[in-house]
Structure 1
Amino acid sequence: MKPFAFTQPRDLDGALAALAAGARPVAGGTNLLDLMKEGVMAPPGLVDINGLGLDAIETSAEGGLRLGALARNADTAYHPLVRKRYPLLGAAILAGASPQLRNMASDGGNLMQRTRCVYFYDVGTPCNKREPGSGCPAREGLNRQHAILGTSEHCIATHPSDMCVALRALDATVHVRSQRGTRSIAFADFHRLPGDRPELDNTLEPGELITHLTLPEADRFAGHAYYLKVRDRLSYAFALVSVAAALDLAPGRRIRAARIALGGVAHKPWRVEEAEAALEGKEAGEDAFGAAADLILRGAQGHGQNDFKITLARNAIVQALARAARGTACQPEGEAQ
């Protein structure tokens, strides 16, 4: 690990000044420090933001949910407001990482995770995310974990977060601040597809810091939500495919509204609103769910070792929607009851 400066500002203005000078924020450090140890990232300085008081979890002014960027993943998953009103979010968080990591990782930091592509982590191999223009060996190499949607010739990596999949399904908004002021970013616009700039994971501008997230009121989806994560082992493994599914059902199992987002299949959480709209007015059942899955996966393409993900994703979407229709499961399969 290369030497770096370390500061612990007393207030937000001090932190923003350090970020404007080129430093990076660190909270739990569960991803950033690993990247620094591997030599993948070498920021000139780190700014410890843990003392800034950005950890509140509370009802927002609009009646939804406000999540402080420094709230820990575990605290968020088990918070009474989340468990009652946003069980999809709690289940997604509990499906990720390990209890120890969830105790340390911050909600804002979760959004900033970088891909777990083996070529990105191996500084001895080319990688367009690490060194633009050097190539993407994953396209012809080890790509079992890689994307089937939204790829480019420059990158086929996937975003690793579980929490972000639920946030995309629930229409979250990211609120950021810098010395230039504040702005709000729709979650759909926060993470990027690789295109010809795979080194850019998100739309944050230099010097910006995530201060909090907001979720709109979502009580109508609380009773029929499910997070399904398909992975190689039950714990501490990234998703091959994950699905955040939520339904608003009328009497007679008629679908009034649906929310569906996928993880493990693209460079960002993947959502196709057209598929959700196609479910409206339909009876909840395998035929309707399968048709929605086909819309979501339109244009999906494997790269050899990950061809199986297309079929796996379709089956996972149908299963997640079927489980959601039966009623909310607050914890993912395998989580201690």
Structure 2
Amino acid sequence: MQTFAFSRATRIDQAIQAGTRASTAQQGAEVRFVAGGTTLIDLMKLDVEHPAQVIDINHLPLGEVEQTSDGGLKIGALVRNADLAVHPQVQQHYAVLGEALLSGASGQLRNMATTGGNLLQRTRCVYFRDTACACNKREPGSGCAAIGGYNRNLAILGVSKHCIASNPSDMNVALAALEAIVVIRGARGERQVPINEFFLLPGDTPQRETVLEPGDLITHVLLPRPLDGARSHYLKLRDRASYEFALASAAVVVHTENRRIVQARVAMGGIGTRPWRSPEAEHVLAGQAPSPALFDRAAQALLANAQPQSQNGFKQELARRCLIQALGTVTA
């Protein structure tokens, strides 16, 4: 671990000013906000992350879950995953989010991990975490050792010739299905970014994973009012039941009336370079009577542009079965 400056912020504007000022003063040197530290500290120890300054934000007033005036939910960036998973509003109206959080890590990690930190969780690609290996995400232009290397756990959707790393988060898949809004404050003021625009595809710049700019701070996440009568579910398939990342997962929110699907939201994890919302699958489902054959067509639409690598072709069939099962659960 390299040396770094450490400071503590007690106000949101103070944190943003400190982050922006440090980036400017040190000519773009990395500045990181830290809360639970469940990802950042690990990566600093591995010398993957080496910020010049770390700003502790645990004392900011961002640790509450509140109902909004329009019937939605406002989730502070510092709300711990363990608390959010069992919050009464989440359990009653956003079950898919609670299920995703409870499947996401060990109890100890959930007690520390935060909403904002989970949004910024970085890939578990072994080459990204090993500084002896080529990784365009860690060192742009160095190459991608995963292409042609060990890629069993990596993405088959949204990949590029520069990066095939998968997004590891469970929470973010559920937030994609719930059409969450990420609220960000920075030097340009406050802005709201739909979660499906928050994450960037790797393309030619895999090192840039989100729309965040230097000094930007995620303050909270907004969930829209739940769909009346909708059911939701998160299904995670993994190598072992205890503390493991998804090989394929599905977050689905479905509203049915008179045995017809009025509206469906579908997102998948473990198979994409970002949490993978699928308008194609949703279009197939809309207005139709639930059936295994329909769910299969939706899965095929979702996976139509899959680009499996040398070791992860099995994810196509696994993801297909995962989505069929999840949709069957919420429409039974």
Q: What is the TM-score when the length of structure 1 is the normalising length?
A: 0.94
- CA positional deviation for 1:77: 0.6
Write the letter of the residue equivalent to 1:107: T
- CA positional deviation for 1:180: 2.3
| CA distance in 2 between partners of 1:137 and 1:173 (Å) | 34
Q: Check the 8 A contact 2:80/2:110 in 1, yes or no.
A: yes
**Aligned residue runs from structure 1 range 153-164, under 5 A:** 153-164=161-172
| CA distance in 2 between partners of 1:139 and 1:221 (Å) | 44
Q: Check the 8 A contact 1:257/1:277 in 2, yes or no.
A: no
Q: Which residue of 1 aligns with 2:27?
A: none
Are 2:271 and 1:265 aligned? yes
Q: Check the 8 A contact 1:98/1:235 in 2, yes or no.
A: yes
Q: RMSD in angstroms over aligned alpha carbons? A: 1.0
Give 2:81's match in structure 1, choosing from 66, 73, 76. Answer: 73
Q: Which residue of 2 aligns with 1:227?
A: 234
Q: Percent identity, aligned pairs only?
A: 52
Q: Check the 8 A contact 1:245/1:320 in 2, yes or no.
A: yes
- CA positional deviation for 1:221: 5.7
What SS does structure 1 have at the residue aligned with 2:127?
A: helix
Q: Which residue of 1 aligns with 2:19?
A: 19
Give 2:250's match in structure 1, choosing from 240, 243, 250. Answer: 243
Q: Check the 8 A contact 1:158/1:264 in 2, yes or no.
A: yes
Identify unmatched segments of 5+ residues in structure 2: 24-30
| CA distance in 2 between partners of 1:213 and 1:29 (Å) | 19
Q: Check the 8 A contact 1:177/1:208 in 2, yes or no.
A: yes
Q: Which residue of 2 aligns with 1:152?
A: 160
- CA positional deviation for 1:280: 1.5
| CA distance in 2 between partners of 1:157 and 1:229 (Å) | 18
What SS does structure 1 have at the residue aligned with 2:218?
A: strand
Q: Check the 8 A contact 2:254/2:331 in 1, yes or no.
A: yes
Q: What is the TM-score when the length of structure 2 is the normalising length?
A: 0.96
- CA positional deviation for 1:9: 1.8
What SS does structure 1 have at the residue aligned with 2:36?
A: coil
Aligned length in residues: 324
| CA distance in 2 between partners of 1:279 and 1:50 (Å) | 43
Q: Which residue of 1 aligns with 2:320?
A: 314
Q: Render the CA deviation track for 1:41-65: whole Å, top value 9, x for unaligned.
A: 1001111101011011011132211
- CA positional deviation for 1:277: 2.2
Are 2:103 and 1:95 aligned? yes
| CA distance in 2 between partners of 1:164 and 1:9 (Å) | 26
**Aligned residue runs from structure 1 range 170-189, under 5 A:** 170-189=178-197
What SS does structure 1 have at the residue aligned with 2:324?
A: helix
Q: Check the 8 A contact 2:227/2:255 in 1, yes or no.
A: no
Give 2:94's match in structure 1, choosing from 65, 86, 93. Answer: 86
Q: Which range is displaced more, 78-87 or 278-287?
A: 278-287
1:263 to 1:4, Cα distance in 2 relative to 1, 3 A: same
Q: Render the CA deviation track for 1:76-114: whole Å, top value 9, x for unaligned.
A: 110001000101110011110111100100001000011
Write the letter of the residue equivalent to 1:138: A
